[in-house]
Chains A and B, each alone.
Chain A
Amino acid sequence: MSSDSSSTSGDEFTNPNPNPNSTSKPLEDQFASAALTEPDNEPPEIQESPNGVVNGSVSENNHGEIERNERGGAVGSNLEARQSVRWRRTNSEVEVEAPSSPSSSGYAGERGSSSGSGSSGGFEMIGGGIGGDDDEIQEVSNVDSIQDSQASWMPGKRHVDEDDASLSWRKRKKHFFILSNSGKPIYSRYGDEHKLAGFSATLQAIISFVENGGDRVKLVRAGNHQVVFLVKGPIYLVCISCTEEPYESLRGQLELIYGQMLLILTKSVNRCFEKNPKFDMTPLLGGTDVVFSSLIHSFSWNPATFLHAYTCLPLAYATRQAAGAILQDVADSGVLFAILMCKHKVISLVGAQKASLHPDDMLLLANFVMSSESFRTSESFSPICLPRYNPMAFLYAYVHYLDVDTYLMLLTTSSDAFYHLKDCRIRIEMVLLKSNVLSEVQRSMLDGGMHVEDLPTDPLPRSGTLSPHLGQPRDSPESFREPFVGIGGPAGLWHFMYRSIFLDQYVSSEFSPPINSPRKQKRLYRAYQNLYASMHDKGIGPHKTQFRRDENYVLLCWVTQDFELYAAFDPLADKAVAIKTCNRVCQWVKDVENEIFLLGASPFSW
């Protein structure tokens, strides 16, 4: 069962490439400057990550023609113009690039704001020290934030004092709104909903105007802004963004926001609107601002939001099995889903016969639980709805934190089940303690997952019986990795993400220098997100590759029926070597899949 994807490993990757040994053009010719694609009328420090490079070239990339994509790209029709702008740098500049240096690479320089105080009066710094979020971009050189880009983000709604008349409100790069089809505001990312009633009415007017013509409005472009609409019965969702993310990505984000709303209220709110079109929904969402703002924040750090897959905490196979066994035990006693998670990573999960959890539901549930402080203080019992499981009905969730990061969720259909679930939890907790699962979890949190620096140079001997942690001994991680600091892994590999299609799971390498600030991480995710959108834009074959080079990265994407691999390299990386490295990454993932994925069933489920 674990060898599902092995058939497409090995050298196949190089086959779809029509010309693997193509002699490279001079590097400068291959680079179109992304930094220079920024619209001129926007102060640079406000501008979203400049990967407009990828955005807009979507239709091109669908052909999967490697050489063509290699030109990097530019926004749609401006292709020619962009191409003429060359971006140059010498190798030595690359080599001296230090994580916090604002000057050397495309990372910080084009923003001109990466020195801590560099906000230079930009309005986006109204958010002050909050940092790290979608619009309040800030360089954080704090070591902690390297591991976890959530670290610097503070929950809760901000800028409540704003409304559509405020300059600052108008300049925010990404707005999200929920409103009713009568134009009543339900949620706004920024500003006070009630003060935005007029603006909401305008949005409603646009939507109904088009609907009256028997049509549907999906996207409006205005200058460098995109307005994306999603109509869900009586609920309208709107995103206004100048982040240059593809339409599909923004629409996917609106779908998740709608899902989050259903998780809190179920679809039965529709009935309230049927009875009373003027129904005011805001009170029903009381106290849930944090849930939405944390979801919106996760659009910029959590790849699960666009991969539609979940990720596991790396654990020894036996440890995960032990956790799965006790969860299975409980699931057999009338619990619908038993889920053990550590932050946003799954330790183990089990569903009662046939019940299966959609990765999006898991994302929304974990977001709901982690963003609501209330769950951390004591045992809780709350109605929740899993929109992909059944959007009409509530389930009941028993939630209990076993330690600071690790929490257990037991879902049931019965509103009376609190005491039963509490007993289940006590049993589970005992077993987990006895079998050291919780201490293993803590250790895995410290060790982290796959580090590109550890990519094995030679394939592991197949006959080897040793199973070192993720393929390499990690006894003294710091000293071991020292020689690599600042340059990523072998062959200029900086980062990768691997999504297993059958498992609905992905694994993402830990961030290491030079991708070491939340801002750089976010930019990389945006680049992946663009890549994802272009690869999933209808009609793709079973094997598809894409190779892009711009001044930020070399990006490589490889999609097969079994998996998708996204990898980022140093922009100067050699293409042939990069492709070889991707093959090694796939092999590595397969070698350690026991530890990084939740593989099928525990022994009891069949």
Chain B
Amino acid sequence: MASRRRMLLKVIILGDSGVGKTSLMNQYVNRKFSNQYKATIGADFLTKEVQFEDRQFTLQIWDTAGQERFQSLGVAFYRGADCCVLVYDVNVMKSFDNLNNWREEFLIQASPSDPENFPFVVLGNKIDVDSGNSRVVSEKKAKAWCASKGNIPYFETSAKEGFNVEAAFQCIAKNALKNEPEEDIYLPDTIDVVGRQQQRSSGCEC
């Protein structure tokens, strides 16, 4: 049981309601997109098997609700995260302004051991909308903010068109892995576990 946890990389997705967190996750895990908005309740939980440097890992993705009433819920979900993904909508200034709150709230509630170097990834989503004409947050502005917070990797994405989603999650997985102490990965009993998890996930995905 303990060893299974080590093979899991826990990823939390945060951001204002409606920026496209669920859509990004759905595009990444199921390659599906829906125009209909279905508010996330509490937190949804999905797993995805990823291959990285010839090894298999399970990304455990926590898609949280951006709705205001869930913001006190943090602790339950944030604890033990390996990477935190902050999402905003490039067409909504407020969702960008709020990134700072989301980041700080996460650091307070998850209280990671090394907050300075905790891996975040920022995604500017919905770049497809109106061919970019309704965009209010420039790439430059976003990148400047990321740089000021310790060089957070930044991606511009469209969950709708699947643009950059795979690349973003590759980076997310890589950063989550960096956070994991090396020695945990090479425990001898992990091999069965990987096998078992592969089976289960292939059952889920088809």
Contact = CB atoms under 8 A, between A and B. Distances in A.
A374 B40 contact: yes
B76 A375 contact: no
B75 interface: yes
Interface in A548-571: none
Interface in A386-408: 396-397
Given A284-B69, A415-B76, A372 B39 contact: yes
Nearest to B63: A378
Contact of B41 (A265, A283, A374, A415): A374
Nearest to A266: B69
A59 B75 CA distance: 55
Q: How large is the interface on A (under 10, 10 to 19, 20 to 34, 35 or more residues)?
A: 20 to 34
B38 A286 contact: no
Interface string A191-234: 00000000000000000000000000000000000000000000
B76 A378 contact: no
Contact of B46 (A287, A378, A418): A378
B147 interface: no
A350 interface: no
Contacts of A285: 69
Given A265-B69, A373-B38, A287 B17 contact: yes
B76 A287 contact: no
A416 B69 contact: no
B167 to A, nearest CB: 23
Interface string A161-200: 0000000000000000000000000000000000000000
Given A372-B39, A396-B76, A416-B76, A381 B67 contact: no
A380 B68 contact: no
B68 A283 contact: yes
Contact of B44 (A264, A377, A383, A415): A377
Interface string B113-149: 0000000000000000000000000000000000000
Contacts of B99: none
A372 B22 CA distance: 14
A374 B76 contact: no
Interface string B60-71: 000101011110
Contacts of A373: 38
A122 B41 CA distance: 37
B68 A381 contact: no
A416 B76 CA distance: 5
A381 B44 CA distance: 7
Contact of B42 (A286, A381, A416): A381
A373 B22 CA distance: 12
A374 B66 CA distance: 13
Nearest to A414: B76
A288 B68 CA distance: 12
Contacts of B187: none
A382 interface: yes
Contact of B45 (A288, A379, A383): A379
Contacts of B67: 283, 286-287
Contact of A415 (B40, B46, B68, B75): B75
B45 A381 contact: yes
Given A286-B17, A286-B67, A383-B73, A374 B45 contact: no
B44 A379 contact: yes
Interface string B38-54: 11111111100000000
Q: Is the interface of B mostly helix, strand, loop or mixed?
A: mixed
The residue in B69, B76, B77 that gathers the most chain A C-beta atoms within 10 A of its C-beta is B69
B15 to A, nearest CB: 14
A86 B69 CA distance: 57
Given A284-B68, A286-B17, A415 B73 contact: yes
Contacts of B76: 381, 396, 415-416, 418
Contacts of B45: 378-381, 418
B17 A381 contact: no
Contacts of B42: 380-383, 397
A313 B69 CA distance: 34
A206 B184 CA distance: 67
B43 to A, nearest CB: 5
Contacts of A382: 41-43, 65, 70
Contacts of B38: 372-374
Given A265-B69, A396-B76, A418-B76, A286 B44 contact: no
The residue in B17, B45, B63, B79 that gathers the most chain A C-beta atoms within 10 A of its C-beta is B45
A382 B76 CA distance: 10
A380 B39 contact: no
A381 B22 CA distance: 15
Interface string A281-297: 00111111000000000
A377 B63 CA distance: 11
Contact of A286 (B22, B39, B73, B77): B39
A380 B77 CA distance: 11
Interface in A409-434: 415-416, 418
A495 B128 CA distance: 55
Given A381-B76, A415-B73, A415-B76, A287 B43 contact: no
A299 B42 CA distance: 26
Contacts of A378: 44-46, 63
Contacts of A287: 17, 39-41, 65, 67
26 contacts: A264-B69, A283-B67, A283-B68, A284-B69, A285-B69, A286-B39, A286-B68, A287-B40, A287-B65, A373-B38, A374-B40, A374-B44, A375-B41, A377-B26, A377-B44, A377-B46, A379-B45, A380-B43, A380-B44, A381-B45, A382-B42, A382-B70, A415-B73, A415-B76, A416-B76, A418-B77
- Would you list the 7 A-B pairs with minimal beta carbon distance, nearest first? A382-B42, A287-B39, A373-B38, A415-B76, A286-B67, A379-B45, A378-B44
